[in-house]
Amino acid sequence: MFFSTPDSVSVHQAVSDTLGAAVSHGGNTEPGANLFTELLNHVFDSHELEIPFIGHIELPRYSSFSVAGIEIDLSITKHVAFLWFTAFLLLIIAITAARRNSSQKVPKGIGNLVEMVVLFIRDEVALPNMGPGGLKYMPYLLTTFFFILIMNLAGLVPYGSTATSNVSVTGGLALIAFIMIQFSAIRAQGFVQYLKHLTGGVHWALWPVMVPIEILGLFTKPFALMIRLFANMVGGHIVIVSLFGLIFIFRSYLIAPVPILFALGINMLELFVAFLQAYIFTLLTSLFMGFGIQAAHGEGEGQEH
């Protein structure tokens, strides 16, 4: 589901057409126009899916409708298709790893790889930030990490698309993170104690000032998660497009080796960023959840003393 005013896909297409036109001269489109379009297709959404050896497949489109002034389009787009693909691939990987690890005394292959990630998330993310109480949230943290990682990597392969370059996708992930952050805090503290923390522990006369600030703080954390992931996944592709654009700006292939080498380096960096952003999103989510969980423990220790 994507929110648009009036159509996010058409905005992306307009940007692509503008950049493509930037390398046109005298009404003749140079090869750079197609190059820009292909590079930007990895981050921009569209209503068609490109399949190797088959060509472009038009995805179903439905009429949009408005709710409270927000236009909602439930049409299936390329990013939606890659979300489904990511979920299906993650399900296959998880089932395969679980079956192999249950049938082998010593995990091998994909089972060993998945177990390494599970132990890393448990020992380096959940336990340090959330304490022993964070182990019950391991399924959510692992799903978040693998889901974001696969979506990030999908945009680095030919015919792929980076669904996390769509702010609607990162917004959905941030919304789930927001729900889990509040749920874990309420579960650990209790609803009454959770509401007390919104006062910031100040005198009741300052509540009209403190409560809105605390409530605003609840939303800034997931908002930062949304923008950070979105900006980092878009930024690398934009840099690569800009580097290739130097060839057509100078209108000389003599400088081509320099932008190509830099673009290759950025592409390798993008591979690292794919893992890094999945880790950072998971780490910060566990950290924010840990604030609420540890606050309950601190309150309990204070009462004991």
pLDDT digits 0-9 by tens, 219-265: 999 999 999 999 998 888 788 877 877 777 777 778 888 888 888 88
Locus of tokens 């980092």: 232
- Tell how many helices (H) and how many strands (E) occur in the chain: 10, 7
- Is omega for the bond preceding 6 within 30 degrees of 0, making it cis? yes
Query: What pLDDT shows up at residue 223?
Result: 94
Instruction: Check pLDDT > 50 for residue 210.
Output: yes
CA distance 264 to 261: 5
pLDDT of residue 202: 77
What average pLDDT does the chain have?
A: 81
Half-sphere exposure of 74 (CA within 13 A, CB side): 5
Answer with the residue of higher pLDDT: 240 or 285.
285
Could you tell me the pLDDT band of residue 9, with boundaries at 50, 70 and 90?
low
The predicted pLDDT at position 280 comes to: 95
pTM of the model: 0.81
The DSSP bridge pattern shows strands 65-67 and 70-73 to be antiparallel
In this prediction, residue 225 carries a pLDDT of 94
Q: How far apart are CA 58 and CA 296, in angstroms?
A: 52
Q: How far is CA 114 from CA 25, 102, 154, 284, 290, in A?
A: 51, 13, 18, 21, 24
- CA distance linking residue 27 with residue 46, whole number of Å: 26
Quick check: 32 and 248 in contact, CB under 8 A?
yes
When computed from its CA atoms, the radius of gyration of the chain, rounded to whole angstroms, is 23
- Predicted confidence (pLDDT) per residue in 95-153, tens digit: 999 888 887 777 788 888 999 999 999 999 999 999 888 899 999 999 999 999 999 99
59-84: pLDDT as tens digits: 888 888 888 888 887 888 888 999 99
Decide: 234 and 43 in contact? Cβ < 8 Å: yes
H or E element in which residue 50 lies: strand 48-51
pLDDT digits (tens, 9 = 90+) for 16-51: 554 454 444 444 444 445 555 656 666 677 888 878
Give the SS3 label for residue 48: strand
- 7 has pLDDT over 50: no
